[in-house]
Structure 1
């Protein structure tokens, strides 16, 4: 079939060619609202920070009303994170210190290393599967005998954050692709007998409005954490939020400089937590009680147990401790389990309340609370 010996030689060696991305024009840094200046929504902020400390927690699904700062908070987190080391001109943001996480294209000897901001990729609702996963140039493969791969959004998001706004409106097959890549850490593209595989390790963050539909339970279960946020009701807090936003819009540079010390302190805290995480211990008895809570709530599978263990360790690291406490578990267990409970259409009780009640019962906090109430009623101080 091939008349040219050089072409045949290329086919035998399976040369991989990754289309280089065009260099971005030099532009001024985009002004992003500072993460430390965001008022309220503590549950959402905690879930995001824990996923940054330990990406293996599995991402977070944020459901809440419109205009509650979901997108603002996620973009602020990406801007807060410290720069990472990457291989120069590598389309996959490969880590030079992690040979197992490199693509075939990145496995060169003595690569030059550069600093880069943690990538933050927005996935539009109308994206095609080729745009998300990347595509292979079949014409170039046939004419030149080269695997010509055009990286997609998953390649760009490697070692960063992939944000899907209104994820409940995204096509189910794309959600499947995202969840599979997030779970395995790799993306494989198969086209016409040609296969390309590259790292895709990212924190998957989805947001949505419950009024616009729910995710399928089996897909919702694949998100490590689930944060529910509501519109702030306290007038004083609402005024503070409005004033903060007005000050940022009036002079973004001055506003960011005002919060720069807090931003740097938070950044250092995250770096310290990532370094401390491998040393954090979770007592065996506490692990048993976590699994007991999951069992009593009839949680399907073991993802709930695994994610709660990881999140509790990440929280202890964030607080600068190397041992998990009961309070750490209390703060994360609702985030990790509320979306894994079986839904009963006849039951009006909130899933978060069910998790809290089961936690208090298993950890013996319910009895101590009742004892304190009885002592107070009897006049005991």
Structure 2
């Protein structure tokens, strides 16, 4: 299982200037390589290298850095073409798709630059790195990270690392290949119902209310609108300072919720059943005031956190079809749209049971998870006559 560990670099003044110059230079050259690729019909990486490698070397890039710039450009076009084939940029005549196809891909000055072990080495005990720059190789660049991140880096780091800059601060994002724990045989399943009012509700009674998170998002939305309306330099500066703050807050909240659910499942030797919510934004139709809430709801991120934490802990996890889980009675199985009286109340028209709507749905998801797990464990080989 591949995860990433992020460390914050603490360079000296000269080191920071060298890192900044390096990022600006490699991304400017990446834009040039992109123009060459676009003009030549985006050739394969080997052919693109023949047209650009000598120029990159003449501009002062090392051999490995030049290779990474070319590969970065080619990967960007591969991703663009994959999105075009999947229809993520709209129909062939849409303005967004035409704009994407009509010009070369451009790279931001602070865009990530990949480094391999020839360009970057780690000294874990001293918490320093040695890294290639346009000014030569600089050593003893300090970095800071959590104890867990340092242990993960020391034990499992493998492959390339990305150097990025955010608001004048440099980070290294390293790929770590962490082995998955062996999954145990579950003694039942915990159903997890994801929502907006309640971010997550489990069949064991845990409920992560979304009221505080939604209130925080509304406050941030109103503040952004107020600052954007002013259009002054100070307002733009404040907007830049507040950038990514909401994303970090939501991400931290999702980490806490996911860890709580996985820890409970591991403690009780249960598996986890999650809803398969892929494509929900295309299926759901909401009134305009509700669309901002839906599209800012990071349910995919929460689901991803639960998945990878479950793999690391060896907790079995299955995805189930969420259809009618909010309309089905977990006691008698009666399905009726009228069973869901409102957002939080469920009253079965068949047996009369009264329950919390999200809790009832989580029990249905748990039952479907057990059924999916059992079906996957059953042998489909015909019996020997």
TM-score, length of structure 1 as denominator length: 0.26
Whose relative contact order is higher, 1 or 2, with alpha carbons under 8 Å and at least 6 apart? 1
The structure with more radius of gyration: 2
TM-score, length of structure 2 as denominator length: 0.26
Query: Greater strand share, 1 or 2?
Result: 2
